[in-house]
Amino acid sequence: MSQEENEPIRAPAWLLHRWPGRIAITSAAGCVRIDVFDRAMTVAAQLFSSVLPILILFATWAGASASDATAEALQIPDESKDVLDDAAQGSSGAAFGVAGVLIVLISATSLSRAVTRAFTAVWSLPRPRSRLGSAWRWLAAVVGLALAVVVVRQLAALADGLPQPRAWQSAVAFAADAAVTLFLPWVLLAGAVRPRLLLPGALLFAVTMIVLRPVSAVWLPRALESSADRFGSIGVAFTYLAWLYAIAFCFLVAAVVGRVVATDDGRLGRWIRR
C-alpha cells in the first residue's frame, strides 16, 4: 500500500491518540448513536407543553405581579402578554381546582420521562421502567425547571443594583444553568450516575448558555414580535419551539460531550472518576 493510501488511515489514528481529537470524534459518534436531532425535537416539544402550563399556573395563583414576571422571563410580546394578564386577573388558584392542577402536573411529567430516556441513551443505561414510586422525581424535575426560569430572572433583576451588574447577571445565570443541568439527570436517573460524572456536561452547557443567552436576548424578542404580527399566537408558538429546540440541542450535545470527557482514559477523565 502506498504512502498516499495510508494517509486516510493514519489521520483518524493520530486524532484518537490526541485528547481534543479523541473527545471530538467520540462525541460525534455519541450524538449519532442517541439520534440527537430527533431527541432534541422531542425534548423541545415537551418543554413547550410542560413548562409553559406550569408557569401560567404559577402566574394565575400569584396574580398580576407574577404574570408580569413570567411574561418578562419568557419575553412574551405585548399581544400574547394581554392573554396571560387576562388569565391571571380573571382566575385564581381555586378556579383551577385540584383536578385541574393534577392534570397540569401529570401532563408535565412527560418532559421528565423524555429527559430520562435521553440520559439513559447518553449513558448507555437500561431503559427505566415507569413506576409510581418515581413520580416524585418527575414532579421535582419539571417543577424545579419551571421555577428556575422565573427565579433566575428575578435574581438577575436584583443584580442590576450591584457594581458590574452584567458580570453578576452572567454569574447568576451560569450557576443556575449548571445547577439545573446537574440536578435533572441526577434526580431522574435516581443517582445511577454520580454528580461528579455529570458535572462536565453541566458546566459545558452553562458555558454554552453564556454565549446563547445574549444571542437569544437580541433575536427572540424581535422574532416573537414579527411572528405575532404576521401569524398571531400560532406564530409565537412556532418561534418558541425553534428557540427551545436550539436549547434542547445544546443541552443534549453538552451531555454527550460531558459523558465522553468523564469516561475518557486521559488524565482529566481519570481525575473526574476518582
Mean pLDDT in order along the chain per 10 residues (274 residues): 51 66 90 94 89 74 55 58 54 55 77 92 83 79 82 73 78 89 92 93 94 84 80 80 92 96 90 86
In the prediction, which pLDDT does 263 show?
A: 92
With beta carbons less than 8 A apart as the criterion, state whether 181 and 148 touch.
no
| Rg (alpha carbons) of the chain, rounded to whole number | 21
Grid coordinates belonging to 212: 446563547
In the prediction, which pLDDT does 122 show?
A: 95
In the prediction, which pLDDT does 102 show?
A: 74
What is the pTM assigned to this prediction? 0.83
In the prediction, which pLDDT does 227 show?
A: 80
For the chain, give the DSSP string: --HHHHHHHHHHHHHHTSHHHHHHHHHHHHHHHHTHHHHHHHHHHHHHHHHHHHHHHHHHHH-HHHHHHHHHHHT--HHHHHHHHHHHHH--HHHHHHHHHHHHHHHHHHHHHHHHHHHHHHTTPPPPP--GGGHHHHHHHHHHHHHHHHHHHHHHHHGGGSSSHHHHHHHHHHHHHHHHHHHHHHHHTTTSS-HHHHHHHHHHHHHHHHHHHHHHHHHHHHHHHHHHHHHTHHHHHHHHHHHHHHHHHHHHHHHHHHHHHHH-SSHHHHHHH-
In the prediction, which pLDDT does 262 show?
A: 94
In the prediction, which pLDDT does 146 show?
A: 81
Cα separation, 215 vs 237, whole angstroms: 19
Cα separation, 171 vs 155, whole angstroms: 10
In the prediction, which pLDDT does 70 show?
A: 59
In the prediction, which pLDDT does 115 show?
A: 92
State the helix-helix crossing angle for 19-34 and 93-122, rounded to 10 degrees. 120
